[in-house]
Amino acid sequence: MGARKIIIDTDPGQDDAVALLLAFASPEELEVLAVTTVAGNVPLELTTRNALTVCELAGRSDVPVHAGCDGPMTGTLKTAEAVHGQTGLDGVELPPPSTAPAPGHAVDILIETLRREPAGTVTLCTLGALTNVATAFARAPDIVERVAEIVVMGGAYFEVGNWSPAAEFNILVDPEAAQIVFRAGRPLTILPLDVTHKALITPDRLAAFGRIDSNVGRAVHGWLGFYERFDMAKYGWEGGPLHDPCVIAYLLKPDLFSGRFINVEVETQSELTRGMTVADWWNVTDRHANATFIGDVDADGFYALLTDRLARL
């Protein structure tokens, strides 16, 4: 079997950056057709610039980076400079990207790519708000059934919220978009905080990245040291959670993860709980299952995979 074709939709972000690197380090399993950017951790201009920087760091400037939506379908953009710094990729000085975004809006590229590639062969990996994907689905409903699978970092059940008391950041940024994608009817896997909060960047794991003697190793070490400080202070844990690489690791080694096929809906109405992922973990409703909601990860296995693969770049 050849490499699985993926599009990575992202708002880099240090953890997004590490997810991109993990995908680039795994060409035998994953063919990255395009990187599409969305506003989220920082505004769109910066997430796009950061995606270009990461592609260049990995020696993969051949992968097109397409800028997408600069804000959610409804309401105003929420950003997370408190976590990621003013650039979104604080923690290490890298040269400005020498490449430019590829022509074509991310939404158009999603539509064109899904129409061009054989149906059922392209997996969408989302590491940010779901605005680009939902906008593409709304504009071109014919592409929905052509999607092989959607793998999302977002939401939470047992861990509830990290950006409001009830909501995880990626879903909170654009709840309407998340609802469209969750209800699209395609195979959907969700990596929520319940799993990413078990994948902590402990001092030993951070040190292992630092021992990778390359520009990639130094960048990952610098980024994650900066990025985790916010969550370590917030939660009082020995390391910050590494969210987005879980999506790519799930594609590479699904056996590291376990979860349940359940119903997951997004709250869009309530002021108090807007953006909450209402996951029927205990199967207490008749609502049909629409998502594999991951609950657990072999964290040592995940970090071993990540460290091993990043050392290849």
Among the listed ranges 13-21, 28-36, 130-138, 142-150, the one in contact with ligand BDR (CB under 6 A) is 13-21
- Between 143 and 199, name the residue whose CB sits nearer to ligand BDR: 199
34 is a site residue for ligand BDR (CB under 6 A): no
Helical segments of 211-311, H only: 215-235, 245-252, 299-310
Whole-angstrom distance, CA of residue 250 vs CA of residue 245:
8
- Between residue 150 and residue 189, which ones bind ligand BDR under the rule CB under 6 A? 153, 162, 168-170
Nearer of residues 60 and 243 to ligand BDR, judged by Cβ: 243
Q: Which residues within the stretch 41-60 sit at the binding site for ligand BDR (CB under 6 A)? A: 41
Nearest to 38 by CA among 63, 4, 6, 13: 13
- Is-catalytic flag, 243? yes
In the complex, minimum distance from the CB of residue 36 to Ca ion, in angstroms, rounded to a whole number: 13
The distance from CA 78 to its chain's CA centroid, rounded to whole angstroms, is 16
**C-alpha distances in Å from residue 100, one per residue of 55, 67, 108, 128:** 11, 10, 18, 21
Nearer to ligand BDR, 231 or 265 (CB): 231
Say whether residue 97 binds Ca ion (CB under 5 A).
no
b/e per residue 14-27 (b: at least 16 CB within 10 A): bbbbbbbbbbbbbe
Tell me the DSSP string of 35-77: EEE-SSSS-HHHHHHHHHHHHHHTT-TTS-EEE--SS-SSS--
Binding flag, residue 279, ligand BDR (CB under 6 A): no
Min separation Cβ 33 and Ca ion, Å: 19
Give the binding site for ligand BDR (CB under 6 A). 13, 15-16, 41, 80, 83, 127-128, 153, 162, 168-170, 243-244
* Catalytic sites, residue numbers: 243
